[in-house]
Amino acid sequence: MKKIILASASPRRQELLSNITTDFTVCPADADETLPEGLSIEKQIETLAKRKAEAVLEQNPDSIVIGSDTMVVVDNKPLGKPKDKEDAIRMLKMLSGRKHEVITGVAVLCKDKKIINHRTTKVKFRVLTEHEIESYVATGEPMDKAGAYGIQGLGSVLVEGIEGDYFSVVGLPVSLVYTMLCEIEHYMSH
């Protein structure tokens, strides 16, 4: 089997990929994140995941590379990582008491085959008080996370329920990545 490379510095993605295989290396991608106008949010996510994987595949052409990108979407508007504490507070107020979507795009690439997909999960927040939001932001946890929260950490107390793949919300839809890897390996063994 070819070497597998995860094109992400995220410790959460590394931990989730280790549920599938421990035989991988990590090589964070430096990819252009500007997107053309008119792409659906799903296509934007898939494009970013693909660019990350392609950037690493160029340097490692004999490997299988996994790229991933996660976006929180509310009212058809993507929420990225907060710029600062005020931005995190604004995002959490927007999500309070409502459902939103978390879309994670995944690209599994080798030299001759590219598989790109995404998974969408609905997340419902309970109604949050101003104090809860400010206390959570003060922990620093929201600062490097899309939508300003981490469902697997302290942010778990904000979430009332989810419909869909929990692991996709964390940042890597494990069952989807597994089936994509199987498809790539099956393709390569023929």
Active-site positions read 69
Q: What is the 3-state secondary structure (H, E, C) of the chain?
A: CCCEEECCCCHHHHHHHCCCCCCEEECCCCCCCCCCCCCCHHHHHHHHHHHHHHHHHHHCCCCEEEEEEEEEEECCEEECCCCCHHHHHHHHHHHCCCEEEEEEEEEEECCCCEEEEEEEEEEEECCCCHHHHHHHHHCCHHHHCHHHCCCCCHHHHHEEEEECCHHHHHCCCHHHHHHHHHHHHHHHCC
